[in-house]
Amino acid sequence: MSAANFIQDQSEFELLRESTDLLVVDCTATWCGPCKVIAPFIDQLAEVYSDRAKVMKIDIDANKPLAKQFGLKSIPAVLFFKQGELVETMIGVKNYDDFKNTLEKYL
């Protein structure tokens, strides 16, 4: 099973955002219980859609400017970017189908 990889920093995030047609970013933190609940769903998305979308995670504690840039007040937050533009933000715990349906909407 190929888990979603972590984006290391702001510059890697910007590069991915500019070069990826459909980018899904799970904004997470090690101390966040609800983030751990959705982590398997994000990993499953990364595996199932690896040929059509890039599904990544980012540690919001290590990348605070990113949270500020997108106005994130709570996590988990899953950001969907289509051709570099933020098209949808999902906040809180959702089930796999919610994430899958949102991703498929932008394929």
Q: Which residues are catalytic?
A: 32, 35
* Of 107, 73, 64, 106, nearest in space to 88 by CA: 106
Contacts of 15 (CB under 8 A, 6+ apart): none
38 backbone dihedrals φ, ψ, rounded to 5°: -90, -10
Amino acid at 22: L
Q: How far apart are CA 92 and CA 90, in angstroms?
A: 7
DSSP 102: H
